[in-house]
Amino acid sequence: MPITSQDLKKLKPILSNGFYNTPNMAYYIFKNRGGRWNSIIVWTQMNLGTVREKDCFVTNNDFEIVSDIEATLLEFQMNDVGDTKLLNCDSISDANEYLTELNKTKL
């Protein structure tokens, strides 16, 4: 969900130290089947132009930082996702440019 001005006010103590990036999106996780984390909020920075996302930090529902959470790494092999071509997105600055490059890679 997008972050509201009320969220930013509650996050001010966390953001004031300058250690964390200011998020613009949040994932509210109420139940994690088989996991230990319930009722947490994952704060992220989402670039809506490139649809790239960067995790900022995690809090509980009282907006207190959760420091002992571990990163989750997802791994896959290209042959697991079918016949695809990789697109280098590092130099692409907007959605139209991305779509142009993506159309060039079609089989």
Q: For 51-70, give the secondary structure using H, E and C.
A: CEEEEEEEEECCCCECCCCC
**Are the C-beta atoms of residues 60 and 39 closer than 8 Å to each other?**
yes
User: What integer pLDDT is reported at residue 107 of this predicted model?
Assistant: 46
DSSP SS3 for 100: helix
For the record, the structure tokens of 14 come out as 């966390």
Q: Where are the domains of the chain?
A: 5-104
Query: Could you say which DSSP state residue 42 is in?
Result: E
pTM: 0.65
Are 98 and 92 in contact by the 8 Å Cβ rule? The answer is: yes
Query: Which tens digits make up the pLDDT trace of 45-98?
Result: 999 888 889 999 999 999 999 988 877 776 766 565 555 555 566 666 666 776
Q: What is the predicted pLDDT for the residue at 103? A: 72
- CA-to-CA distance for 60 and 16, rounded, in angstroms? 18
Residues 18-38 have pLDDT tens digits of: 889 999 999 998 877 777 778
